[in-house]
Amino acid sequence: MTVYLININNDCNECMECVEVCQTGILTEDFINMVKSKINSTESPDKILFRKYAPECTYCESCESVCGQEAIWIINLNPECEEL
């Protein structure tokens, strides 16, 4: 089973376009608002990165491609495994 890590940094402007295109429903408005709240509550928000383990992510790349801020990207935590 491939597991992905969703990364969101402080460049997120809460436009919610990633939420609109997320095919699995992992990205929600509540989730993005919570991420931004945590980022904004830190002493150095310009150096903050929020990560979420998302085994249900299919890595469709929709969220990455729609983000004009380049604030979200996905990492495959099992890169040595290829599904056949």
For the segment 27-76, what is each residue's pLDDT rounded down to a tens digit? Answer: 999 999 998 888 888 777 666 788 889 989 999 999 999 999 999 999 99
Q: Where are the alpha helices (DSSP H) in the chain?
A: 17-21, 29-40, 62-66
Q: Which domains does the chain have, with CATH numbers?
A: 4-76 (3.30.70.20)
Question: Model-level pTM?
Answer: 0.82
The predicted structure's pLDDT at residue 50: 86
Name the pLDDT band for 81 (thresholds 50, 70, 90).
low
pLDDT > 70? residue 15: yes
Angle at 47 between CA 51 and CA 25, to 5 degrees: 25
Q: Give the integer Cα–Cα distance in Å for 72 and 9.
A: 7
Tokens encoding 47: 């150096």
